[in-house]
Amino acid sequence: MPTGRVSDIQRMTEAGVDLIFNKAAKQATEKYYTAISTEKKLQRRVGSYTTMGDLSAAELKGEGDPIAFDKISQNYETTITAKTVSKGVAATLEQLEDDLYGTVTKAFGGSLIRVMNSYKEKEIANLYNNAFTATGADGVAQISDTHPLQRSALVNDNLATGPLTPANIKAAKNMFIRIYDQAGDFYGSQATHLLINSEFQFAAMEILESALMSDELSNTINSVNKISPVRIILNPYITVTRGATDTAPWFMLDKTMTDAGAILQTKKGLTLETQWDFVTKDYQGTAIERYGSGIISPGYGLVGSTGL
């Protein structure tokens, strides 16, 4: 048990907490959100994102005729505002004197970083969980079959249907082919990844990796992933509805589109600080981070099904 003056405990604690903070911050932890969002670092608090594909169709130019110019417009603009996320933890002087290393390890180390990371994981995953009801910049749900276009009467449809099956995955992949730019021309998109709750990993593997069709007594070749193969992204934060048969939404992403889909807009990264409260003699640790999130360019880069 440590003994000595309060100032000795303070110096020992400061050194110990700093060491544990640094060690915890450097430890490799699995971060699911990095696979399903594009991080954009901004100095300002509010970021604005215009929907992609805004130009009208190209035209033939006759000899001596002027070139037709499109004026840049704020087309279906998404605004993301950074918020402050924080957590604090405190230990009394008595706790530190009785068990300095144990208290610091349990309260000030990886646990503080873990809860901060967990909040961010849920923040990004909920962009997908809520995409069937949350309204996007174009005035309809972020996953909808009626995304309006600025320069065409056509609409974009990124609402798939049904559970995770070979037929439904094929249908969802084909939906990317029918994505239009704002003038109604084909944009040129294709699915690159399948996002599912981690509990459905075996079902996804059977569908995508089997040589023959899964759940069939036949020799039919499984063509689901033969053309434009997709990779699986597992995320335990995608909502599962419990019942006789558990259901969960699933999503297909075009991760080549960095100006569409889920955005993590970071203003200030994770900051860890420690200090003494000179009145109570509590030792305090705080974690603060500033970021916002949202789905930009609604109707592009993302197709989803509720799983029903």
Over residues 244-257, the pLDDT tens digits come to 999 999 999 999 99
Residue 233 inside a domain? The answer is: yes
pLDDT at 198: 97
Q: Residue 171: pLDDT band by 50, 70, 90 thresholds?
A: very high
The residue ranking higher by pLDDT, 266 or 104, is: 266
Task: Give φ, ψ of 282 to 5 degrees.
Answer: -80, 145
Say if CB 297 and CB 125 are below 8 A apart. Answer: no
What value does the mean pLDDT of the chain take?
Answer: 85
Share of the chain above pLDDT 70, in %: 82
State pTM to two decimals.
Answer: 0.86
CA dist 159 → 22, 191, 297, 302, 304 (Å): 44, 14, 15, 9, 6
Residue 114 inside a domain? The answer is: yes
CATH number at residue 118: 3.90.1690
Residue 15 inside a domain? The answer is: yes
Residue 38 inside a domain? The answer is: yes
The region of weakest confidence among 17-26, 29-38, 234-243 is 17-26
pLDDT at 63: 86
Residue 13 inside a domain? The answer is: yes
Residue 154 inside a domain? The answer is: yes
Tally the domains of the chain.
1
Domain that holds residue 185: 1-53+77-308
Residue 296 inside a domain? The answer is: yes
Residue 224 inside a domain? The answer is: yes
Provide, for the chain, the percentages of residues in helix, strand and coil under a 3-state DSSP scheme, each rounded to the nearest 5.
25, 25, 45
DSSP 51: P
